[in-house]
Structure 1
Amino acid sequence: MKLRGKVSIAIIVPLAILLALAIRADLVETRSRIIQEGSNRMRRSARNVATVIDGQCRRMAQVAETASISVSDVKDWTRDELFGLAHGIVAQDPILFGFGIAWEASPGPERKGIFFGYAERSLGGIEEIDLTARYDIAKLPRYVQLKDSAERFWDQIQIDKNGVRTRMIAYLAPVMSGGRFIGGVFVDVEVDAFGLMIERRDLDCEDWAIVDENGQVVASSPGAGSEFEDGSVGDFVVRERQDDGPDRAVRFEDLIARAAVGESFVEEIATSAVDDDVRMVAFAPIEEPGWVLVSGRSREVMTRNADRLVLARAGAVIAIALTAIGIVLFGTWWVVLRPVRRIAEVVSRAAEGDRSARVGLGGQDELAMLGSALDEAFPRLDELARTQASLDSARVVQESLLPAEPLNDAGVSMAGRVIPSDQTGGDYFDYGELGDGRIAIGLGDATGHGMPSALFVATARAYVRASIMTESDLASAIELANHRLCLESSAGLFMVLFAAILDRPNGSLEVASAGHPGFLLRSGEDRFEEIKAGGIPLGIQPSGYRSTTLEVASGDVLLVASDGAWECRNPEGEILGLDRLLETAVAGRDRSAESQVADLFDFVHRFADGQPLDDDCTILVVRVD
């Protein structure tokens, strides 16, 4: 054998062995990386979609609970008024399919006994249906459950929609008055609506299902799997018991229970005895109704491109290894150094302000993808800067609408603070002199947060202020402001409000509420007295309101806070709660209003322990000295 052959064998044989080992190691690593990255994408995607569904469920719950408060606040509802309320709620929220009211407060609307009405969305608009004669409401199982438990709950129902039995998801809430059950309200939405939400959010999976805490399937995609076909999760083993693992086998229902407590994760699950029939399954909690979003993707599909990627890389390595050193150097310059230099040049020009430069690399390799990403990113930098500047300006304007400093006057001190959960918020507080020794006070909390809610709050604040200045009493002022908002507000936006007028010379406090409570601590007492929420929120439909006048004396403290203050969570997911917030307020009653507000916000932040706020947080304190 010639020397050239020996040299060739001496080089090619070890190189081939090393290359084979490298290809195998690369294949294993590439598959593992693809599965890990895919699992992370699935987990994030499932969590994001579950958050969207949870937000819609919370909106449904908020609508039903707000409606139950509004219904219980008025004792003499007529049939038309109840239908008007139901019609208005369905019209305000395009996601809702229907809204129902069961009212049995004696002697009932227009003295006709128990009333059962329903407003549903149809092709012709919103249809109002009187179900009083069709059903014996007192014997309907869900109504009996609602009445016996006096607790809200979620349920699945079926209705006849255009001659087709349609599955619905319903949220039911009791209407209570003085601790007595006087009826119930419910909102419902088609199960298919959840499928549309998932489709619009492009859930990263091949199939999905929503499962409740009892293992019942709420909704699923077509072909979700045999374990979901019967409408409930099959009781099958995910992992057998291992010597160094848990002391029992892990079942699918165990994973559902694990996700239901708030954890998002991905599990590898074998769906049959075949090794390749393995799926990566993501679990994400939908917290409000206690459901779990389950989404899956075949592991074989996730790693399908791994072999092709590895073989492509191996071919490139072999070609480079068998070429001359000069060609390798030239190729290195052409493939790596030239694009990097081009990218560095474009980045440098962009840093100097020239955003028109483009990398312009062709191909599908990583550097070309980086160049394409930079080409797409540069034009957006100015747009992002302008957007951020607009948000900053909006935040400055919104902050300018709040009182600039605490009010410290003879006989009274007032202070408040708003911490939005977004760059702009949906909360506000206000106070100001009316003359003749009276001071107007207000705190509002709009649905949602961000720019739409901030604009709505600014409009509502202006109407409330103007109405208080022109109307003779607080109830009329709130009614006028609500009427103006109903004429201009967008669908789905409304605001709860607590308003008061402090008359220092006469020692009185006139209060009115549009669905928001207040709390009064009397001098010498050790517990806050709740000023209960009454009246429907502003912006839903025109409505009347009532005001109440309370006597106040030196040492009394009025506390008003948005629900974001006591619904914040710590890292363990525990909610602060109203009772703990009020106990802290009682402890600081002797301090100035400004100091009390600062202490309460310090308490909220200590409890949250670094967790971001889920909602805007506003606290207002009025101290009578």
Structure 2
Amino acid sequence: MKKNGKLYIVAEDQQSCRELESHLAGTAWCVSCFDDPSTAIAAIKVDHPGVVVVDLPSSPLRAQLVELASMEIDVAYIMVVPEGDPRQVVEFFHQNVSDVVVKPFTGERFCQAVERASGCKSLMVQNSLYREQLEKANRELEESLRILEVDQMAGRQVQHSLLPVTPLYYGEYEIAHRIVPSLFLSGDFVGYNVIFDRYMVFYVADVSGHGASSAFLTVLLKFILNRILRRHITRNDMSAMAKAPEGFIEHINRQIMALGLDKHLTMFAASIDMERNILRYSVAAHMPTPVFVSNGDVRSLPGKGKPVGIFPDASWDVQEIVLPEKFAMAIVSDGVLEFLPGASYREKEQFIADTIAKSDTSIESICEGLGVDKVKDAPDDVTVLTIRRGY
């Protein structure tokens, strides 16, 4: 900060002013002398000099100058006093005086006091400016956080409105989901629809990262799926639905790669032909593996594939199995691994399978067994999707 080069000397007479001024000869200070304290007080209030030296041991107006020192942060006050009561010196410092010079003193001592007081005041002024800037920045940050919170809440409502009804019953089939976001917005998402009163299509997606950018990609997934389904419905394309989800993940991969969002996702996409009771599915690096339960038999559905949004020419195989009259299937996102017991991935995966086997296969029972409903401040988004028939 640039130092104010003005220095005022306020003394009882011109002789005292000249004596003090002589100590500053050869310095860069622009010195003004006052032997009338009233005139000095008026000038100080207008000019705000960098330093004011006060040598008024017997003047009743010295108290007014001390009062100015207690109120002004940008002016350094130095009191010149005769040898006497040290308590008076302490009182001056309590009243925001920068320094006290006790007579007799040398010119060097006086100049040191002036420079020290000026530097101290400059630092105080600088700190005051920094404090004002910090307070302004804090106010702006609080306002930005308030706006962000409002936006996040609005985004959460939008995202929630895009989720399908849970549970959804269709014929003998039931599909349900539960999502516990780690933040206001979730990078996990599920979608399911029934097309032509025959095909139940569904997916579970886990977008990399957290927050708004990941949530926006889930909205894009919803849009892509709806657009594909509308096209098939408009064209009455039963043959395409019979092959679903063939080509679905590839289409999403091309869309994400074209957008250049620097995001990728894992996915489990599937279709159930409820007339023929056939499940067709593709796995895009989704883990843990889906758990399939039927007649007391618990197993993981086979399948693997690359994540979506990284490899432009990637493709995903479609697996197909015939569904028994009574079965249940559960797909969970990897966020559940953060709080499950077990030291290794295999142990956690086995815990998921055991929990589902012991449950009544409802979404409520599975979530309770996994501890999903008790999760607070989850480090990652948690999703559970269940499909069952004959329960």
TM-score range, shorter chain: 0.5 to 0.7
Q: CA deviation at 1:497?
A: 1.2
Q: CA deviation at 1:530?
A: 2.4
- Aligned equivalents of 1:563, 1:388: Cα separation in 2: 27
Which residue of structure 1 lines up, in the alignment, with residue 367 of structure 2?
598
In the alignment, structure 1 residue 537 sits paired with structure 2 residue 314? no
1:147-296 aligned at under 5 Å gives the runs none
Q: CA deviation at 1:372?
A: 5.1
Structure 2: unaligned runs, 5 residues or longer: 1-84, 98-121, 233-239
Where relative contact order (Cα < 8 A, 6+ residues apart) is larger, the structure is 2
- Aligned equivalents of 2:126, 2:260: Cα separation in 1: 51
Q: CA deviation at 1:445?
A: 1.0
- Aligned equivalents of 1:539, 1:461: Cα separation in 2: 20
Tell me which of 293, 296, 304 is aligned to 1:525: 296
In the alignment, structure 1 residue 515 sits paired with structure 2 residue 275? no
RMSD: 3.3
Task: Give the residue type in structure 2 aligned to 1:499.
Answer: A
SS in 2 for 1:540: coil
Tell me which of 566, 570, 579 is aligned to 2:350: 579
Q: CA deviation at 1:437?
A: 2.3
Tell me which of 212, 225, 233 is aligned to 1:451: 212
Structure 1: unaligned runs, 5 residues or longer: 1-319, 333-360
- Aligned equivalents of 1:494, 1:438: Cα separation in 2: 28
1:55-204 aligned at under 5 Å gives the runs none
Native 8 Å contact 2:355 2:366 kept in 1: no
SS in 1 for 2:294: coil
- Aligned equivalents of 1:385, 1:551: Cα separation in 2: 52
SS in 2 for 1:475: coil
SS in 1 for 2:146: helix
Task: Give the residue type in structure 2 aligned to 1:555.
Answer: K
In the alignment, structure 1 residue 416 sits paired with structure 2 residue 180? no
Which residue of structure 2 lines up, in the alignment, with residue 502 of structure 1?
272
SS in 1 for 2:159: helix
TM-score by length of 2: 0.60
Q: CA deviation at 1:410?
A: 2.4
Tell me which of 428, 441, 450 is aligned to 2:189: 428
Task: Give the residue type in structure 2 aligned to 1:427.
Answer: D
- Aligned equivalents of 1:507, 1:398: Cα separation in 2: 31
TM-score by length of 1: 0.39
Task: Give the residue type in structure 2 aligned to 1:599.
Answer: E
SS in 2 for 1:454: helix
> Residues 483, 373 of structure 1: CA spacing in aligned structure 2 closer, same or farther, 3 A cutoff?
closer
Q: CA deviation at 1:442?
A: 0.6
Task: Give the residue type in structure 1 aligned to 2:323.
Answer: V
In the alignment, structure 1 residue 322 sits paired with structure 2 residue 92? no
> Residues 403, 386 of structure 1: CA spacing in aligned structure 2 closer, same or farther, 3 A cutoff?
same
Native 8 Å contact 1:467 1:481 kept in 2: no
Native 8 Å contact 2:282 2:303 kept in 1: no
Q: CA deviation at 1:461?
A: 3.2
Larger Rg: 2
Q: CA deviation at 1:440?
A: 0.8
Which residue of structure 1 lines up, in the alignment, with residue 4 of structure 2?
none
- Aligned equivalents of 1:325, 1:475: Cα separation in 2: 87
Which residue of structure 2 lines up, in the alignment, with residue 613 of structure 1?
378
Which residue of structure 1 lines up, in the alignment, with residue 38 of structure 2?
none
Task: Give the residue type in structure 1 aligned to 2:367.
Answer: A
Which residue of structure 1 lines up, in the alignment, with residue 254 of structure 2?
483
Identity of aligned residues (%): 19
Which residue of structure 2 lines up, in the alignment, with residue 229 of structure 1?
none
Q: CA deviation at 1:624?
A: 1.0
